[in-house]
Amino acid sequence: MPSYNDQGIILKSFNLSEADKILNIYTKENGLVRCIAKGAKKPSGKFSGRTDLLYCSFFQFAKGKNLDTLCDIEQITTFPKLRSSSNLLFYGILFLDIVNNFAQEEEEESNHIFELLYSMLDELQTSKSPETVAIRFIIQFLSLHGLKPQLETCVACSKEIVKSKDTYPYSSILGGLLCDECLAIDHISISNGILDILGLPTIQTNSDMETKRGALKLLQKHINTRAKKEIKTFDLVFSL
């Protein structure tokens, strides 16, 4: 069988048998790789302790008809500081779930998506404001997929939005702000503070917690509307 090597981060794992696992790995060059890790559940197995979520490694795969086979692993990092804090760990798993929900095999933007995931997980390890890192990650991830919230013009009629109010109508279904003429469309109201956070390339960590949580909840609705299935890790994050 032909083989290939790639750098990747383990997103999800499933039990296949008493000894084996199926892994979803997001790789730098090949996008989503689904593979069998034989003997991964055996304490004495070749891959024992090296196939957990958040592990970043160099992987060797053998091509298969439906699933590839994991042949070898050379570990790079396990993001250890995330594992020492349940708070940070839940945010890290949220990032994995989001990527896993949208991931495709041989994805065109795989290099950029991998680099974004790796850099944001690394930044999360030392962050005092995981909400800020999460908002930045989600906005940049959505941008790479062409799904970023539309904030400059009405998402329904393309009329320019004049930023002169305290609150603005936002349609999660359509994915952006609405002008006053399009208010018949189902929407929620968002504050100026949330709009400022969503519209900035960098977010100030001193923004108040309520506003950051509001921005994150809006992004939850926005991304769940477009995901393959509901990303339930958001609920864990909001329970913190």
Residues of the chain short of pLDDT 70, as ranges, are 1, 200-206
**CA proximity to 24, closest of 99, 124, 76, 115:** 99
**CA proximity to 35, closest of 7, 58, 14:** 14
The answer to whether the pTM exceeds 0.75 is yes
Instruction: From the options 1.20.1440.120, 1.10.260.40, 2.40.30.10, 3.50.50.60, give the CATH code of 80-149+166-238.
Output: 1.20.1440.120
Token pair listed for 177: 């702000």
**CA proximity to 67, closest of 117, 23, 12:** 23
Q: What is the pLDDT of residue 56?
A: 98
Instruction: Give domain limits for the chain.
Output: 3-77, 80-149+166-238
Q: What is the pLDDT of residue 203?
A: 54
Is residue 82 a contact partner of residue 88, using CB atoms and an 8 Å limit? yes
Is residue 153 a contact partner of residue 159, using CB atoms and an 8 Å limit? yes
Q: What is the pLDDT of residue 164?
A: 83
The CATH class, in words, for 3-77 is: mainly beta
pLDDT tens, 141-199? Answer: 999 999 999 999 999 999 999 888 889 999 999 999 999 999 999 999 999 889 988 88
Q: Residues 50, 51, 53, 56: what is their CA dihedral angle, to the nearest 10 degrees?
A: 60
Q: What is the pLDDT of residue 1?
A: 67
Distance of CA 214 to the CA centre of its chain: 18
